[in-house]
Every structure is written in structure tokens, then in C-alpha cells.
Amino acid sequence: MKYAFFPGCVSQGAAPELYPAAKLICERIGIELEEIPGWTCTGAGVMQEKNLLFADTLNARNFAKAEQMGLPILTICSTCQGVMSQANKRMTRDPEYLAEINHHLADEGLEYKGTAEPKHLLWILIEDIGLDKVTELVTRPLAGIRMAPFYGCYIVRPTEALDIEEHPERQTSLETLIETLGATVVDFEGKTRCCGFPILTINEKNSMAMVGKHTSEAKDLGADAMITPCPLCHLNLDGYQPKAAAQLKRKVDLPILHMPQAIGLAMGIDPKDLGLQKHIMNTQPLTVKLGARI
């Protein structure tokens, strides 16, 4: 299957290990990715609080380009997913608003017709590809690994924007994937809560309290690793875990995997090719346990 690829800024910026890992596993699965030419940032909810029309217009621009390609949109970022879904709802349920946006897009000869249906790779694996296909490709099951899911707010709320009612399976998609990879799910309260990243530069103490709370809760429940489909969550949960642990005055040491990395590990891909050595929290205890030492 072929998709219009929307990688998002972070997978090419502060979490550069995500992009190649996602490409690698998509190739194995047989998902063909064609990047949307000249795609722009979704606004991540930040631009939306300053200038909703500008932010929505940029999203419509990405959607219009994908329409031109004639391909459905695939993203690898929970935040991008949520922001795109919300923008899409605003535009498609209000024809006047969409017309206003299209008026601005007309300058570069673009028009958004309202047919885009942006989907995270996590949903695509379950809804379009089917987990049987993933199971087929698992050559190194993550047996004995206890894995905590961490969704990222924007892929779970608000449910109305994400069509959760039509797709109730999306609410447990990450747990389903963990089981498919052969690992054991560590269920914990923080799995759908906020990682704290959006307030990192605004209220670092609260941001670190969130990182500390969720990572230590999962760790105390015996998690070997946490898995997230959101690179922004990854930045905070991995990159700032040492600072969060210091604030909490305890050790946490929980490896945080991008969702495609966990899939890649189960497919027998070399951890180095998945960029596991680029994490701030040491992933070696995990890879050693798996017999896939870096």
C-alpha cells in the first residue's frame, strides 16, 4: 500500500532516530511512503492558540497536496495526528470556513476538497494492513519484555475529533500492538496522560513532575521499557528523564522506545539501524535481555 508520508518536524529534528526507523519497518511491511513535497508543520497546537486561521490554512495546504498525490496521509507523530484531525473536522463541517481557507490557498493554485483522512502508522497497521501481517514478520518476539504504553494526548483526545466512536479499537491500539510483538503489557494510570512537553519552557518543574510520575510508575510496575507513538512525548520522557529523576530524588532508568523501534526490534532489525544508541536513557539492558545487544 502507498501513502502520502507526513513525517512531522521532530522526526527530522530533535528525534532524528525516528525517521529512519519508521522507514525501515514500513519497507519490511510493504508500506510505500512518498513524502508530501514541501509539507509544513501542523502548528502542534501552539500556533493554534495564536492564530487558528493561519494554522488551519497550513494544514489544509498539506491536505491539498496529498489530495493531488491521490494518496491517504500517514503520520508517525501522535501530536501531528491530533492536530491534523482537529483541523480537518473544523474545515469539513463548515463549508464557509473551508472556502475562506481555499481562497488563501488559491494563490499557489491549491484547493483542499475535504477528502483527507490523516492516519497514524499505529492505526494504519491495525486498520489498513492488519496485525496478521505484522505477526508474520515478527522473527524475534519480545517475549519476556514488559512494556508500558504511552499514547500522547493528541491521539486519544478529544475522542470526537479522532473518530473514536467509529473506531473503538483505537483506544487500545498500543496495547494490541505490544501483544502482537510478543511483549507483556504493563497497564498503568499514566498511559493516556500528558508527558509535560508542551510546558517544558514555561513551567519546567511541572513538566518534570509529569515525566517523573509516569516513568517511575511504569518502572515500579516492572516495565523494561516504555513505547510511544509520539516523538514529542519521547523527547520529554527520554531526553529529560535524568532531570525528572533528579527532581524526584530517585533512580528511574526506563528506556523509552519510539513505536517503530519496538516493531523493528521484534522484526529482528539491528538495534543500531533503529537508532537505539541515540537515546538518552540507556537501551542496553533491554537489548541484552532480548539477545540483540548493540
Partner 1 sequence: MDVTIKIRRYDPEAEQPGSYWEEFAVSVPDNATVLDALIKIREEMDGTLTLRCSCRSAICGSCAMRINGHAGLACKTALALVVDENNAITVEPAGVMRVIKDLAVDFELFWDKIRAVEPYLQPAGAEPEGEYIASNESMLHLSGVTACIMCGACVSDCTVLEVDPTFLGPAALAKAYRFTADPRDGNREGVSRERLRNLSEATGMWDCTRCNECVQACPKGVAPMDRIMALREQAVEAGFTNNNGARHTNAFTESVGHSGRLDELRLPIKSVGGVTNIGAMLSYAPVGWRALTHGKMPPIRHKNVENVENVRRLFRKLDPELAGPQIGRNSPFG
Binding residues for partner 1, per CB under 8 A?
9-10, 13-17, 37-41, 43-51, 53-54, 57-58, 61, 82, 104, 107-108, 153-154, 157-159, 189, 193-194, 196, 198-206, 209-210, 213, 239-240, 242-243, 277-280
In the bound state with partner 1, the residue whose beta carbon lies nearer, of 9 and 223, is 9
- C-alpha 269/C-alpha 173 separation (Å) is 23
Q: How far is the CB of 30 from partner 1 (least distance, A)?
A: 28
Alpha-carbon distance of 254 to 286, in angstroms, equals 9
From 33, 51, 35, select the one nearest 43 (Cα to Cα). 51
Closest contact distance (angstroms) between CB of 124 and partner 1 is: 22
Closest CA to 268 of 180, 149, 138: 138
Of 86 and 173, which has the nearer Cβ to partner 1? 86
Whole-number minimum distance, CB 258 to partner 1, in Å? Answer: 12
d(CA 145, CA 47): 39
Q: How many CB atoms are closer than 10 A to CB 190? A: 18
Compute the least distance from the CB of residue 290 to partner 1, in Å.
Answer: 20
If phi > 0 it is left, if psi is from -120 to 50 it is alpha, else beta; for residue 254 that is beta
Nearer to partner 1, 29 or 82 (CB): 82
By beta-carbon proximity to partner 1, the closer residue of 129 and 280 is 280
**Grid cell 491530533 in the structure block, residue:** 82
Nearest distance in Å: CB 108, partner 1: 4
Q: Coil, strand, or helix at residue 244?
A: helix
Closer CB to partner 1, residue 190 or residue 264? 190
